[in-house]
Amino acid sequence: MPVAITQTTNNNAFAGFGTQRPDMIGDPGLPGNERSVSRWFNTSAFAPAAPFTIGTSSRNPIRGPGYRNLDLALIRRVPWSVNKALELRTEVFNATNTPPFLALNTQVGSAAFGTITSAGDPRVVQLAVKFLF
C-alpha cells in the first residue's frame, strides 16, 4: 500500500498547506531481507524541507506492509432425530498467524520515524456447539 511521508514542522501553513512534505535526498526503498518493524524503509533518504519551501518528496514514495489473511471454518452437522441436529463448529481467524502490521510512523522529525509500533489481532480460534430443532 502506498504511504505518504510528511514532516512534523509545517513551515508553509501560512500559505494554506495543511501538511508539508520533506525533501527526498536518496532512495527510500530497502530490500525485503533488511526490513523490520524497527526500520521499514530507509529513513536517511528524507530530510526536513527548508522553511518556506515545498519539499521534493513525491506523493507516496514508499510502500507500507502488505496484508495477508486466511480464515478457516470446519463444520460438522450430526443428526439427532428426524428434525433435530447438533452442529459442531470450529473457526480459525488468521490461521497462519501472520502479523497484520498497522500504520507506519511517517513523520520526519518524529523519534519513531520509519517504525511500526502496532499490529492487529493474532490467531484466534473459537469453538461452538449449536442444537438445531
Burial (CB < 10 A; 0-12, 13-18, 19+), residue 128, is exposed
Q: Are 97 and 72 in contact (CB under 8 A)?
A: no
Burial (CB < 10 A; 0-12, 13-18, 19+), residue 116, is buried
Per-residue pLDDT at 15: 60
Mean pLDDT, range 6-14, rounded to an integer: 76
State pTM to two decimals: 0.72
Rounded CA-CA distance 108/69 in Å is 31
pLDDT at 14 over 80: no
Total domain count for the chain?
1
Rounded CA-CA distance 16/7 in Å is 16
Nearest CA-CA partner of 24 in 106, 103, 101? 106
pLDDT band at 116 (very low <50, low <70, confident <90, very high): very high
- Which range marks the domain in which residue 33 is found? 2-132
